[in-house]
Chain A
Amino acid sequence: MTRIGRWIGSHLVLTGGLLVLLYMYIPNIIVAIMSFNDSSGARNLYAFQKFTWDNWLNPCKPDNLCSSVVTSIEIGLLATLGATVIGTFAAFGLVRHRFRGRTAMNLVLFLPMATPEIVMGSSLLALFVAAGLGGQLGFWTILLAHIMFCISFVVVTVKSRLAGLDGNLEQAAADLYANEWQTFWKVTFPLVFPGILAAALLAFSLSFDDFIITNLNSGQTVTFPMYVWGASQRGVPMQVNVIGTLMFIVALAAVIIGELGARRRRKAIASR
């Protein structure tokens, strides 16, 4: 006990930081615990009743839960693809080219990040209604909206990676007999790729998790966050906690595997 006390005394800031980190995990821990909760016949959905594996064994039991997850994944993948392609092009244009209107473009790209979602969502709804699409809100209007708000984040992420790229490397490639095309694919792209990948991951998580904009423009289509929202009015099925925990585990596993893979590659190269 005294040893721990002393460590805390000499690492006050780190201890404080770790406590903040712990705070950030409280809901995740609760969600993980509740995913094993047997809520059948329970009066109070907000307390742990009885341990069960049922929720993990039958995650799709509640109506529409899994179909909403599938819808969210579909929209997420398409929005990621669209936003990453469009945003990466724009990032290259903004970093590598000088032209009139660059400042204006930078501002237009910044604004979606500085606009409250409720304003963006309601203005899109106003547009769709004005365009006579009020009755056709759904999958495609959600997708259009998601691509829109993801573009800015992709541009920012790719831009910072691109700006950190040493321009000498491309000149070195040109000096070593690589034409413009080869320089791009052999040097520029591999070096910017981690940035593009990070941007794509960010876009997917933004799209998958979006509720406010989606809710205003979804018509009858139900994404996963909308399912949760709807369910929360009545009482959330415990399977939602399974999905939440799964998302957390999958994302964490992806990060860890990616990092371990990169480390092993580095080691293999070093020892070969």
Chain B
Amino acid sequence: MSQVSSGTGRDLRLVGLHKTYPNGFTAVHDLDLVVPQGSFFALLGPSGCGKTTTLRMVAGLETPTAGTISIGESEITATKPYNRPVNTVFQNYALFPHLSIAENVEFGLKRRKVYDSGKQVKEILALTELEEQANKRPGQLSGGQQQRVALARAIVNRPEVLLLDEPLGALDLKLRRAMQVELKRIQEEVGITFVHVTHDQEEAMSMADTVAVMNQGVIEQLGSPYDLYTNPHTTFVANFLGRSNLIKGTVVGREGTGDDAVVKVDMHGTIASIKASKVHTDSKDGWLGIRPEKVLIQPEGTAIDAPGSSIPGCVVTDASYLGVSTDYTVRMPWGQEIICFEQNTGRRGGLIPVGTKVDVSWRPEFAFLLDASQDAGAGRQED
């Protein structure tokens, strides 16, 4: 999908979009966003972050307090929902219980008086593998089938933008993973712009070309799943997308120029170097962040395969063996506990017992530095 980079044709464009409800709650705060035509775009965030409200404003089911929505050159901010080239896959599907599957799928085509609607319905039912169910009622279908009907009913209209509101939320885990692959396949086949709202970071990352992480009505960060994960700009993104160890540090100096520029951070007496492109604070203090799987540990005295300094004097306080990997909790010399995911490659030939003294290290290019004024617990999921 990289060939449809932004700026061409019929991008979905939100400018200064704002929504305050009559009860005074501001769900969406001056949102600016461009979704490139033909891309698979995910709006990711916890419940109540404003992602669904944003989606509903694009669908025309909610009126913005301020701002504009346009597709290409045409502004649709005040257009009625039924006059927009936009369709929605609703969270609980909202299939018409009194109509058959075929009639559900045909609904939009009929309203627009498309003349070969029967043929199009057949095609889309084939694409979504629903031919067998065409004459059944929604109540007779399984959750996964209903989900596909909701999808078929929307894409048969060939909208310019397809909105998906937590479309997989009602399915169980296994089916959800299967449908993720399915959705991605269908999107690539039809080439419609998909805007997918979800609170499941794995779902967003596995399907979307671009992910926007939303929190409290604003977009915290936007980028490819890889960029968001390896280079989060805020503690919220660092914690909401995967997990992060955040360690208090003080900037002590800068070295090098261009791509080689690094920022030196004093972390409780140990100096760590962080690439300048991964530093997102101007102040002296910061949170040094490192992903748990990037943290290497080794029993005291044995060599660690990492350049840069290692931190001695740490103790393993907890170990959970998960088969593929082991999660260790390690107490640092200054008392903070950090987590470390280690692949069970068999290299070590066993687990490190709780209580073992270990050295901890990581490659400097994996670390990032965030603003110290942010809450280190923001976006952390308790599960």
- Chain A: residues with CB nearer than 8 A to chain B? 166, 168-169, 171-179, 182-183, 186-187, 190-191, 266, 269-270, 272
Contacts and interface: CB of A to CB of B under 8 A. Distances in A.
B94 A168 contact: yes
A169 B96 contact: yes
**Consensus secondary structure, chain B interface:** loop
B82 A190 contact: no
Contact of B61 (A171, A178, A183, A266): A171
Interface in B228-275: none
B184 interface: no
Interface string B74-113: 0000001111001110111011111010000001100110
Given A171-B61, A177-B82, A190 B111 contact: no
B96 A172 contact: yes
A186 B110 CA distance: 11
A269 B83 CA distance: 32
B92 A168 contact: yes
A269 B137 contact: yes
Among A172, A174, A270, the most chain B Cβ lie within 10 Å of the Cβ of A172
B177 interface: no
A247 B105 CA distance: 44
A171 to B, nearest CB: 5
Contacts of A179: 80, 82, 111
A191 B97 contact: yes
Contacts, number: 75
Nearest 4 pairs between A and B by C-beta? Answer: A176-B108, A168-B94, A172-B94, A177-B111
Contact of A174 (B82, B95, B140): B82
Contacts of B137: 266, 269-270
Interface string B135-148: 11100100000000
Nearest to A177: B111
Nearest to A170: B94
B157 interface: yes
B340 interface: no
B157 A187 contact: no
27 contacts: A166-B92, A169-B96, A171-B61, A171-B81, A171-B88, A171-B94, A172-B88, A172-B90, A173-B96, A175-B59, A175-B61, A175-B81, A175-B154, A176-B107, A176-B108, A176-B154, A176-B157, A177-B83, A177-B112, A178-B107, A186-B107, A190-B98, A191-B98, A266-B137, A269-B135, A270-B135, A270-B140
Contacts of B60: 174-175
Given A182-B111, A187-B96, A190-B98, A175 B136 contact: no
Contacts of B88: 171-172, 175
Contacts of A270: 135-137, 140
Among B60, B92, B107, B140, the most chain A Cβ lie within 10 Å of the Cβ of B107
B18 interface: no
B107 A173 contact: yes
Contacts of A166: 92, 94
A195 B135 CA distance: 25
Contact of B136 (A168, A186, A187, A269): A269
Given A168-B92, A269-B135, A270-B140, A174 B98 contact: no
B153 interface: yes
Given A175-B154, A187-B96, A270-B135, 18 more contacts: A166-B94, A168-B92, A168-B94, A169-B96, A171-B94, A174-B61, A175-B81, A175-B82, A176-B82, A176-B107, A177-B112, A178-B108, A178-B111, A179-B80, A179-B82, A182-B111, A191-B98, A266-B137
Interface in B296-351: none
B196 to A, nearest CB: 16
Contacts of B95: 172
A162 to B, nearest CB: 15
Among A166, A169, A175, the most chain B Cβ lie within 10 Å of the Cβ of A175
B51 to A, nearest CB: 17
A272 B102 CA distance: 12
Contact of A171 (B83, B86, B90, B112): B90
Contacts of B135: 269-270, 272
Given A186-B107, A269-B135, A269-B137, A176 B92 contact: no
A179 B107 CA distance: 12
A170 to B, nearest CB: 9
B96 to A, nearest CB: 6
A172 B96 CA distance: 9
Interface string B106-144: 011001100000000000000000000001110010000
